[in-house]
Structure 1
Amino acid sequence: MNLTVYLAGEIHSTWRDEIKQKVAALNLPIHFVGPMENHDRSDNIGEEILGKQPSAIFKDAAASNFNNLRTEILMKKADLVIALFGEKYKQWNTAMDASAAVAYGKPLILIRSEDHHHALKELSRKANATVETVDQAIKALHYILE
């Protein structure tokens, strides 16, 4: 069996690369998808498609439309969503994507530190599993494919 896993969360750190490398080392049959990781492309896609926008607000709205479209399509095709709540960056997109996964009926693994337990308690209860580390999420993937 092959799995498609949507990796939801901030795009500024290398946590996705860590998961991909560790999964590849275990030779697990997993294909990863996720949000546009090129931050400039994500911010500018609305203008790339629609042309110059009259203000920063319209530019953001146009980009959001295409980023949301991309996320919805890829997430709906995924078998599982992993959402990482990191320490350093704002986590609004992570919360939105994790909530969307729940709304779409997608199995969800949350990765969050113990420090975020209280703030994410409701979302954790909606997730299928909540772990504290990338390694624990990989162990869950390995178990699914046993």
Structure 2
Amino acid sequence: MKVYLSGEIHTDWREQIIDGCKNKQLPVTFISANTDHESSDAAGDCLGEEANPFWRDHKSAKVNAIKIQNAIKSCDLAIIRFGDKYRQWNAAFDAGFCAALSKPYITLHDESLTHPLKEVDGSAQAWATTTEQVIQLIEYTLT
């Protein structure tokens, strides 16, 4: 199974899921968007310097989309994490892209985000509050 890990980049949730699946010897391959904030922001810099930050962000978003769209299209399942420190608009976009492609996805967030994410959760196959729940869901789908 190929699993795309999307969303919040400030905690170790990705490593928890990867390690948990590895410990259970689950046949899973993980892919992710760029989780290094600075290099993600600079993804389009090779296309030329921009004086206006809007255009720098615009170019980098398009370059990052190449990787993200290919990852979502090629995955069997996406895990989309919403943290409480920052709003992850990119993760909400990834969830919408998954829904449009009929790609199954699981949201991962705490109860404080239930209301703002009601539409995102409404299209998800599951909503988890812990990485252990995600690991259990992955294990279930493989057995």
Within-5 A mapping of 1:74-113: 74-113=71-110
C-alpha RMSD of matched pairs (Å): 1.1
Q: In the alignment, which residue of structure 2 is the partner of 1:66? A: 63
Give how far 1:68 is off. Answer: 1.2
Q: Which residue of 1 aligns with 2:45?
A: 47
Q: What code does the residue aligned with 1:82 have?
A: I
Q: CA deviation at 1:13?
A: 2.0
- Hey, what does 2:134 align to over in structure 1? 137
Following superposition, the deviation at residue 56 of structure 1 comes to: 1.3
Q: Secondary structure of 2:43's partner?
A: helix
Aligned to 1:31: 29
Structure 1: segments with no counterpart, 5+ residues:
none
Q: Distance in 2 between matches of 1:58 and 1:118?
A: 33
State the TM-score, normalizing by the size of structure 1.
0.92
**Deviation >6 Å, runs of 4+:** none
Matches of 1:81 and 1:105, distance apart in 2? 11
Does the CA contact (< 8 Å) of 1:10 and 1:93 recur in 2? no
Counterpart of 2:12 in structure 1 is 14
Distance across 2 between alignment mates of 1:112 and 1:38: 21
Alpha-carbon offset, residue 51 of structure 1? 2.2
Whole-angstrom CA distance in 1 between matches of 2:112 and 2:62: 33
Paired with 2:36 and 2:88, the residues of 1 have a C-alpha distance of 17
**Match for 1:95: what amino acid?**
A
User: Following TM superposition, by how much is the alpha carbon of 1:66 offset from its aligned partner in structure 2, in angstroms?
Assistant: 0.6
Offset at 1:40?
A: 1.4
- Deviation, 1:47, is 0.8
Query: Which segments of 5 or more consecutive residues in structure 2 lack a partner in the other structure?
Result: none
Aligned length: 143
